Each structure stands twice: as structure tokens, then as C-alpha cells.
Amino acid sequence: MSAPTHTAPREALVGDEGGMGYLERLPRRLVTVYLPLLVFLFVLLFPFYWMAITSIKPNAQLTDYNNYSPFWVVDPTLDHIRYLLFETSYPGWLVNTMIVAVAATFVSLVTSVFAAYAIERLRFTGSRFVGLAIFLAYLVPPSILFIPLALMVFNFGIYDSKLALIFTYPTFLVPFCTWLLMGYFRSIPYELEECALIDGASRWQILVKVLLPLSVPGLISAGIFAFTLSWNEFIYALTFIASSENKTVPVGVLTELVRSDVYEWGSLMAGALIGSLPVVILYSFFVEHYVSSMTGAVKE
């Protein structure tokens, strides 16, 4: 009598792919992984490629699509970049944008830290409704706010100065940053704060020495968000700044490089490309902290 063979478990193991095993086959990897990645990379990088080739194209090639390909450059030139950097106020616009973005981000982060700590850790009556109201304030369109803000800017005498932007940008930065930090502060165990109170620590010491070190990813995420919005903001910068030397990059490139019906396309694309580099560099250095903070806030 022959010994029984155990083939069922073996067949079950062979057929049970489980987990991410379905990606091991090349056709499925091609459809589910590589093709979506290629589409995503094309959509993401094509605008940068278009700006790059347009900034080094001679003027004759910008509109002559019969003799030149729109997707390639023949005899590239640096005249547009040279004109942008040495014959316009673009370097000053970059400096103004950096000062405004850094200062507005700092003010917004400090304000948001205090607001989020008060709402989440002090546990006063109605704190949840206050947090919801702060987040709903973020949903108010800036196009509605800039009219009353303009009156305040004129009354304080800071029109056409960087202070006008530094003081108005937190109106749309603080609500979201506060909401984000509220979620991060909520994920920190209350036992840590209670132990610190028992040991005699003050509220300020708890905030500085306990909560903030544990909330570094959340602070980085809020800072990146605030810096990006401040760097790319257009409506307030267009409304509150009049002189060319005080303009920021988004406003300066549009208002100074477009003269009536004449568009300096090469310089426009060069200005947009150079102006996007600081944000790209910032995200490349802190993308891990940004993703971890957003993931933690969503889970919480």
C-alpha cells in the first residue's frame, strides 16, 4: 500500500499569492506600477521641462512651429536669463519674496503653536468649537478678505512695504497651521504632561521641552505649507505693493515682463523656473517629515 501524498497544501501554497504578490508578474507590474508612474512623472515634470526649454529658446523659435519643434531647442541662448537677472529687478524680487515668506512663516508658526496648545492641552470649555471655527476661517477666500485688510494696511501706514505682506499673510496661514498642529498635539499622550506637572514644570516648560520636541515633524509640515503659500501668494502682493523694488516674484514677473500685448516669454519662463527652485529644494530636504506628519495627523 503506497504512502499518501500531501499535494493539497502544496497546491494551496503555490496558488496563494497574498499581499503584494500580484505585482511579481511583469504584465501586471507594467499596468499597475510602471505605467501610472510614467504618467505621473510626465504630468509632474513636463511643466518644468517646458519652462526650461522656453527660457533658452531664441525669440525666432518661440512661435515658428513650422520650422522648429516646440518640444526641442535649436541653438540655445542665455539671453533671456541674462536679461532677467541683469536688466530687471528680479534679484530684488527674489530677496523680497524670501524675506516675506520666512517672516510670515515664523509669525504663523509661533501663533499656531500657542493656539493649538491652548485648544488641545488646556481643555477649556468650548475648545472644540474654537478649533473648528479656526479651521473654517481657512475656507474664507482671500479675495473677500483683501478689501477690509486693505483698509487696515492703509490705516497703519504700511502700504507698499514688506510689512504689509508679513502681517496679512498669517490671516490664511494661521488657521490651517493651527488645525494641523492640533492634530499632532492631540496624538501626544497626556500622561507626559501630567508627569511634568507633578515634577513642578510650568506650562511654558512643558510646551518647550516636552511637546515641541515631539512635534518636530508637524512643525516642519506646517512650516513647509506656510512657506509655500507665502512664496506663491499673488492677490495680496498685487494689492498691497505698488513700487517695483518691493514686489515679490509672482507679481513682479507678471507685471514687469508683460508690457501691453508684448510678452517676454523667455524671461517669463526663466523667472517662473528660478522662482520655483526654492520650494522644490525645501520639499526635497523635508519630504519625509512632511509625509510622516500628514500621515500622523490623518491617523489621529
pLDDT, one tens digit per residue, over 204-241 is: 888 888 888 888 888 888 898 899 999 999 999 999 99
Model confidence pTM above 0.85 = no
Whether residue 112 is contained in a domain is answered as yes
Q: What's the whole-number mean pLDDT along residues 255-276?
A: 86
Residue 14: pLDDT band with limits 50, 70, 90:
very low
Over 50: is that where the pLDDT of 10 sits?
A: no
Mean pLDDT of the chain: 83
In the prediction, which pLDDT does 12 show? 45
Give per-residue pLDDT as tens, 22-69: 556 667 777 777 888 899 889 988 988 999 999 999 888 888 888 888
Give per-residue pLDDT as tens, 155-190: 999 999 999 999 999 988 998 899 888 888 888 888
Give per-residue pLDDT as tens, 90-115: 999 999 999 999 999 999 999 999 99
In the prediction, which pLDDT does 94 show? 94
Cell digits of residue 138: 481657512
Cell digits of residue 122: 488646556
Whether residue 66 is contained in a domain is answered as no
Render 5-45 in DSSP notation, one character per residue: P--HHHHHHHH---TTGGGGSHHHHIIIIIHHHHHHHHHHH
Residue whose grid cell is 468649537:
129
Residues whose CB is less than 8 angstroms from the CB of residue 7 and which lie 6 or more positions away in sequence, other chains included? none
In the prediction, which pLDDT does 216 show? 85
Whether residue 182 is contained in a domain is answered as yes
Q: Taking the mean position of all CA atoms in its chain, how far away is CA 19?
A: 33
Domain extent, residue 266, equals 106-299
As a whole number of angstroms, the distance between CA 10 and CA 19 comes to: 18
In the prediction, which pLDDT does 289 show? 64
Whether residue 131 is contained in a domain is answered as yes
Over 50: is that where the pLDDT of 15 sits?
A: no
Domains contained in the chain, number: 1
SS3 call for 88: coil
Whether residue 158 is contained in a domain is answered as yes
User: Which domain CATH number covers 142?
Assistant: 1.10.3720.10
Better-predicted residue by pLDDT, 201 or 289: 201
Whether residue 91 is contained in a domain is answered as no
Whether residue 85 is contained in a domain is answered as no
Proportion of the chain above pLDDT 90, given as a percent: 27
Q: What's the whole-number mean pLDDT along residues 12-19?
A: 48
Over 90: is that where the pLDDT of 247 sits?
A: yes
Over 50: is that where the pLDDT of 297 sits?
A: no
Whether residue 62 is contained in a domain is answered as no
